[in-house]
């Protein structure tokens, strides 16, 4: 009887350890350097500049192979651009619920290459020209690098390019470079 209990306890402990190694959850936050590609106002002469904003949310890492993982994320991310003409400046800031799903290829134990799609849903729109013309869905692709500082702390750099237009009335797509720091539990 003691052996059966001992085997059961060892089996449960081993299963819990394996689950902890295969699936991890965490949080991340960072800075966005966002812009919009294309012509927002083709009939007018506007100079376009990027904006600095932020992103924050939760992440999970699902280890599938020794050097390959899938990392789905749920982030709040602000993107957009600033437009200037004849002394006037117009800022367009879009707040998205972004869902990137990154394939992580570990080049070393700590260093990873990350690629994947991202679906984003528009939650808020702030602009200086009283036009609410943001599309409610944005799809894009991301590519970046990750580095584990310790077993729990990590940093990431990522570039995301929008493949769908971000505006109903203008030919613009989101473009963002993100720097992140995070913690895995």
CA–CA separation, 97 and 120 (whole Å): 5
Counting residues of the chain whose pLDDT is more than 90, the rounded percentage is 64
* pTM for this prediction: 0.83
Res. 27 pLDDT band, cuts 50 70 90: very high
Give the mean model confidence (pLDDT) for residues 75-100.
89
Res. 180 pLDDT band, cuts 50 70 90: very high
pLDDT at 92: 84
pLDDT surpasses 60 at 130: no
Rounded to the nearest integer, the mean pLDDT of the chain is: 87
Tokens 């943001």 correspond to 134
CB atoms within 10 A of CB 58: 13
Q: Which residue has the higher pLDDT, 142 or 15?
A: 142
């Amino acid at each position: 009887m003691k052996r059966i209990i001992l085997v059961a306890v060892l089996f449960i402990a081993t299963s819990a350890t394996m689950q902890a190694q295969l699936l991890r959850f965490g949080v991340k936050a960072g800075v966005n350097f966002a812009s919009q590609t294309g012509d927002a106002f083709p009939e007018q002469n506007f100079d376009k500049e990027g904006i600095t904003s932020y992103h924050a949310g939760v992440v999970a890492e699902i280890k599938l192979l020794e050097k390959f993982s899938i990392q789905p994320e749920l982030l709040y991310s602000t993107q957009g651009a600033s437009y200037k003409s004849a002394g006037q400046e117009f800022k367009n800031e879009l707040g998205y619920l972004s869902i990137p799903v990154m394939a992580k290829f570990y080049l070393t134990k700590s260093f990873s290459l990350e690629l994947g799609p991202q679906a984003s849903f528009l939650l808020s729109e702030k602009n200086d020209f009283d036009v609410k013309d943001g599309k409610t869905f944005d799809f894009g692709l991301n590519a970046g690098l990750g580095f584990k500082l310790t077993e729990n702390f990590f940093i990431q750099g990522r570039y995301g390019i929008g493949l769908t237009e971000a505006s109903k009335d203008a030919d613009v797509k989101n473009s963002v470079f993100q720097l992140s720091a995070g913690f895995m539990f």
